[in-house]
Amino acid sequence: MIRKLNPTDRIPDDRGSVTVILPNAPMPERYVALDLETATYDGDICQVGIAIFEHGEKVAEASYLVKPPRNSYDPRCSGIHGITPDQTKDSPEFPVVWPVIRSILDGQYIVAHNASFDLNVLDRSIERFRLGDLVIQDCIDTCRELGGISLYSACAFFGVELARHHDALADATAAGELLARYSSTPGVTVTIPRVKEPTRTTISKENRRPGEDARSDTPFSGKTVVISGEFERFPFRDDLAKVLSTCGARVTSSVSSKTDFLIAGEGVGPSKLEKARDLQQAGAPILLMTERQLYKLLDQLA
């Protein structure tokens, strides 16, 4: 059966944190951490992430992009994980990748953060495509065992790296490492603060200005750059800001007469675009750069 916290193991806390008694059950010697990303709220899978652990150490991993039925996406789902129809249009559908995934999961201990979501989605896909049964040893839900705290907050507390939240492989790896981390101190009472997670559009302070080692031989050197919209190569805007600041740019959030470049991705903010054009007409030398133009320039600078 699935290991569960007893009701007395979860202690309510009114200060924006969760206090739990870490479970005493031993960690399996081998387990498979799993995470699924979905294209729609009906549970159509678009990415599968798997990380295999032995004695608490990751020994293998796999990640699969999956073409959902009709390659259809709910924009709100894409807004969470950054996966778009363009990325999966040539990917295999779930029944094609299932034999490989099943061979990895079959007979194993499965670990996931909010496992009920992932296993329900997996179950529905197996039934929808009539793919038979999957038999597992057990399932460990790291979210349940940590009092329902978010993966981001749990990783911050236990010092587990979560480089790309909502990337299936990154989330699976984080869940597997979380289990290993908190299983090393069974029965201990911990209070885990709820930490606010940066959004996909957040730009960190350190990536807003060029560092001492920034390049001075690029068109962005010494220039003020505004980023707006979504970028296929950079689902997290902070990653693009880092590239631009390394190229000598100062990255800001709003368009002004001091702006040199407005880089417009898909769904660029209409107010930013309108303001940039108004300033252009008033004589400001603002350059509008499309996503394709940006990639071409970055490829030339590489």
CATH superfamily of domain region 7-193: Ribonuclease H-like superfamily/Ribonuclease H (3.30.420.10)
Contact 173, 17 (CB under 8 A): no
Beta bridge partners of 32: 52, 110
Query: Residues 149-177: pLDDT tens digits?
Result: 999 999 999 999 997 889 999 999 999 99
Contact 301, 218 (CB under 8 A): yes
Residue with tokens 């206090």: 19
Instruction: Please list the ranges in the chain whose pLDDT falls under 70.
Output: 1-15, 200
Residue with tokens 């329902």: 148
- Write the DSSP assignment of 257-282 as a string of letters: TT--EEEE-BT--HHHHHHHHHHHHT
Strand spans (E) along the chain? 10-11, 17-21, 30-38, 45-54, 57-65, 109-112, 138-141, 189-193, 224-228, 250-252, 261-264, 287-290
Fold of 205-301: Rossmann fold (3.40.50)
**Given this model, what pLDDT does residue 6 score?**
41
Show me where the domains of the chain are located.
Answer: 7-193, 205-301
* φ/ψ (deg, to 5) at 145: -70, -20
Contact 37, 71 (CB under 8 A): no
**Given this model, what pLDDT does residue 78 score?**
83
Compute the distance between CA of residue 3 and CA of residue 145 in angstroms, rounded to an integer.
Answer: 8
**Given this model, what pLDDT does residue 269 score?**
85
**Given this model, what pLDDT does residue 114 score?**
95
